[in-house]
């Protein structure tokens, strides 16, 4: 395989004869030469190519190259006399692989808005910002796997099609082969492929719990789906989630793992994605790198839900959603707490049972559960998790309150009947993490092909 531009720039192996392929970012002609900036997506920086007018196809092809054309270039790497790059490739041959008609190619050199680019999901990764997001996202996925492997966790692949609504929020997309007809029955009729109502998973947690009760430490990292009609900059209908689940672990151990994970991931991208982060810091979110470094260096703040409500009630500020004990914290509340009060990530614990799903462990007070959310500046909730209810009777009571049919969850209840063990876990929203790390304003820019209400172009 040919060397990638990132490798060539790192090695700066002056004098080497190389072949490199990529897309033309710009062409400039001067003094009998053409200067091409070539990019292949391997890093932010392009490679400067010098093409002499003596080349056989100089007039017929090289001088017609425009933004977006793909080329293969042979040449020798040399020290660059010009400012802006250490090395450049002096071409001995330029082979055009694919033209890009400048009359119709939509990505011109000027800056395009992210809204405009969203309608070009097939071309937008060729822009600097979206390519950098893709590299950082890929690095984060790798770091997630490293983190868990280093701590003895086994990756488990939980199903995408499921028959249980983990969060109990009724936000599942239904899966059927029967088109509209299935609605004629009760949704469980003969048309149903699975013989019962099935949907796209909203979380792999319940199945991860099964494996945690056998393997101890597991995690799942996959796509999840929510049919919630939220058109915000932080919600997607399809998003990826990292969900560790640990047997013999309580809320404190769960919080420690989540904090470790976040700080590890930030440290990892600071180390491995320097140039991309510098670009985000410069053009997208000033001060980003210093803020990420601060998170790596500092412990997260921790308060209970009840303390959070007290802080909100004492706040010198009018919230759109009024505050009282028992409310679900809104984004404005979460952001006030972690941005204005603490100025760093904040773990909020022990929420009212009434606003949390059935599987969370009831506390001794009988009205709060062993839940934890991690809130971060700029985003709000990035992690949601809890210790799980491992006792059969309290779990049955919670399921009944939530209107869940205990017959359907027989397998989940069996885990409490046979060798039940304290266990805990959490879900880290992968796109919210990528948003946090890149400073991108809208979550639609940090997933390659966003799906939101009314939007799924390709």
Please identify, using beta-carbon distances, which residue of 77 and 261 lies nearer to ligand 4AD.
Answer: 261
Please identify, using beta-carbon distances, which residue of 72 and 171 lies nearer to Mg ion.
Answer: 171
CA distances for 208 relative to 150, 203, 220, 247, 322, angstroms: 19, 9, 7, 11, 37
Sign, Cα dihedral of 359, 435, 262, 343: negative
Q: Quick one: what does residue 426 bind among Mg ion, ligand 4AD, none, with the CB cut-off 5 to 8 Å set by partner type?
A: ligand 4AD
Q: Quick one: what does residue 239 bind among Mg ion, ligand 4AD, none, with the CB cut-off 5 to 8 Å set by partner type?
A: ligand 4AD
For the chain, counts of helices (H) and of strands (E): 12, 16
Please identify, using beta-carbon distances, which residue of 383 and 440 lies nearer to ligand 4AD.
Answer: 383
Closest approach of ligand 4AD to the CB of residue 298, in Å: 21
Under a CB-based contact definition with an 8 Å cutoff, are residues 425 and 124 in contact? no
Closest approach of Mg ion to the CB of residue 381, in Å: 6
Q: Does 425 bind Mg ion (CB under 5 A)?
A: no
Please identify, using beta-carbon distances, which residue of 221 and 336 lies nearer to ligand 4AD.
Answer: 221
Strand order in the sheet with 198-200: 161-162, 198-200, 174-175
Interface with Mg ion: number of residues (CB under 5 A): 1
Rounded distance between C-alpha atoms, residue 289 and residue 422, angstroms: 38
SS3 406: coil
Closest approach of ligand 4AD to the CB of residue 175, in Å: 18
Please identify, using beta-carbon distances, which residue of 167 and 445 lies nearer to ligand 4AD.
Answer: 167
Of 306, 434, 443, nearest to 369 by C-alpha is 306
Closest approach of ligand 4AD to the CB of residue 235, in Å: 4
Closest approach of ligand 4AD to the CB of residue 452, in Å: 9
Closest approach of ligand 4AD to the CB of residue 125, in Å: 20
Residue 360 zone, left/alpha/beta (φ > 0; ψ -120 to 50; rest): beta
- Cβ-based neighbours of 127, under 8 Å, separated by 6 or more: 107, 112, 117
Stretch that binds Mg ion, among 65-73, 181-189, 317-325, 380-388 (CB under 5 A): 380-388
Of 306, 375, 301, 302, nearest to 334 by C-alpha is 375
By DSSP bridging, strand 154-155 and strand 217-225 are parallel
Q: Quick one: what does residue 175 bind among ligand 4AD, Mg ion, none, with the CB cut-off 5 to 8 Å set by partner type?
A: none
Closest approach of ligand 4AD to the CB of residue 326, in Å: 18
Interface residues with ligand 4AD (CB under 6 A) are 166-167, 203, 205, 226, 228, 235-236, 239, 241, 243, 381-385, 425-427, 429, 431-432
Quote the distance between the C-alpha of residue 404 and its chain's center.
31
Please identify, using beta-carbon distances, which residue of 377 and 427 lies nearer to ligand 4AD.
Answer: 427
Closest approach of ligand 4AD to the CB of residue 332, in Å: 17
Closest approach of Mg ion to the CB of residue 384, in Å: 3
Q: For residue 352, what are its two tokens?
A: 């009212």
Please identify, using beta-carbon distances, which residue of 384 and 425 lies nearer to Mg ion.
Answer: 384
Buried b (16+ CB within 10 A) or exposed e, 423-438: bbbbbbbbbbbbbbbb
Q: Quick one: what does residue 383 bind among ligand 4AD, Mg ion, none, with the CB cut-off 5 to 8 Å set by partner type?
A: ligand 4AD
Please identify, using beta-carbon distances, which residue of 40 and 431 lies nearer to ligand 4AD.
Answer: 431
Please identify, using beta-carbon distances, which residue of 236 and 369 lies nearer to ligand 4AD.
Answer: 236
Give the DSSP letter string of 167-190.
Answer: T-SS-PPEE-SSGGGGGGTTSSST
Stretch that binds Mg ion, among 4-12, 62-70, 294-302, 381-389 (CB under 5 A): 381-389
Closest approach of ligand 4AD to the CB of residue 239, in Å: 4
Please identify, using beta-carbon distances, which residue of 88 and 167 lies nearer to ligand 4AD.
Answer: 167
Closest approach of Mg ion to the CB of residue 37, in Å: 44
Under a CB-based contact definition with an 8 Å cutoff, are residues 171 and 227 in contact? yes
**Of residues 22, 68, 199, 384, which one binds Mg ion by CB under 5 A?**
384
Cα end-to-end span (Å), the chain: 30
Rounded distance between C-alpha atoms, residue 384 and residue 255, angstroms: 10
Q: Quick one: what does residue 68 bind among ligand 4AD, Mg ion, none, with the CB cut-off 5 to 8 Å set by partner type?
A: none
Under a CB-based contact definition with an 8 Å cutoff, are residues 418 and 412 in contact? no
Q: Quick one: what does residue 205 bind among ligand 4AD, Mg ion, none, with the CB cut-off 5 to 8 Å set by partner type?
A: ligand 4AD
Task: Give 51's strand partners.
Answer: 34
Sign, Cα dihedral of 142, 147, 150, 155: negative
Please identify, using beta-carbon distances, which residue of 27 and 137 lies nearer to ligand 4AD.
Answer: 137
Within residues 176-205, the interface with Mg ion by CB under 5 A covers: none
Residues that bind Mg ion (CB under 5 A): 384
């Amino acid at each position: 395989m040919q060397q990638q531009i990132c490798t060539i720039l790192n090695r700066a192996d002056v004098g080497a004869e190389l072949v490199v392929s990529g897309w033309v970012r710009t062409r400039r002609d001067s003094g009998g030469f053409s200067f091409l900036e070539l990019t292949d997506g391997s890093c932010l920086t392009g490679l400067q190519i010098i093409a002499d007018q003596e080349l056989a196809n100089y007039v017929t092809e090289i001088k017609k190259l425009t933004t977006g054309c793909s080329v293969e270039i042979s040449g020798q790497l040399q020290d660059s006399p010009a400012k802006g790059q250490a090395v450049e490739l002096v071409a001995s041959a330029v082979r055009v692989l694919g033209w890009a008609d400048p009359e119709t190619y939509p990505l011109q050199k000027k800056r395009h808005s992210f809204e405009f680019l969203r309608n070009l999901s097939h071309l937008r990764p060729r822009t600097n910002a979206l390519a950098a997001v893709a590299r950082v996202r890929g690095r984060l996925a790798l770091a997630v796997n490293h983190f868990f492997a280093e701590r003895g966790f086994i990756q488990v692949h939980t199903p995408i099609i499921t028959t249980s609504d983990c969060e109990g929020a009724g936000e599942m997309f239904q899966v059927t082969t029967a088109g509209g007809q299935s609605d004629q029955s009760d949704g469980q009729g003969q048309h149903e492929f699975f013989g019962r109502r099935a949907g796209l998973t909203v979380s792999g947690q319940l199945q991860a719990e099964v494996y945690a009760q056998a393997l101890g430490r597991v995690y799942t990292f996959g796509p999840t789906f929510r049919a919630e009609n939220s058109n915000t900059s932080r919600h997607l209908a399809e998003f990826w989630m990292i969900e560790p689940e640990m047997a013999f672990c309580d809320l404190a151990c769960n919080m420690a793992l989540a904090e470790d994970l976040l700080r590890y991931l930030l440290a990892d991208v600071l180390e491995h994605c320097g140039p991309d982060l510098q670009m985000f810091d410069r053009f997208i979110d000033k001060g980003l790198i210093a803020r990420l470094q601060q998170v790596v260096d500092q412990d997260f703040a921790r308060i209970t839900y009840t303390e959070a409500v007290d802080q909100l009630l004492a706040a010198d500020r009018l919230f759109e959603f009024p505050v009282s004990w028992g409310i679900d914290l809104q984004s404005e509340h979460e952001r006030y707490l972690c941005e204005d009060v603490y100025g760093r990530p904040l773990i909020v614990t022990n929420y009212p049972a009434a606003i949390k799903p059935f599987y969370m462990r009831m506390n001794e007070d009988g009205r709060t559960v062993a839940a934890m959310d991690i809130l971060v500046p700029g985003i709000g909730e990035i992690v949601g998790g809890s210790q799980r209810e491992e006792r059969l009777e309290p779990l049955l009571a919670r399921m009944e309150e939530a209107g869940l049919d205990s017959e359907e969850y027989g397998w989940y209840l069996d885990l409490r009947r046979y060798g039940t063990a304290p266990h805990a876990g959490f879900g880290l929203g992968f796109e919210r993490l990528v948003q946090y790390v890149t400073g991108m304003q809208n979550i639609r820019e940090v997933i390659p092909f966003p799906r939101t209400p009314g939007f799924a172009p390709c």
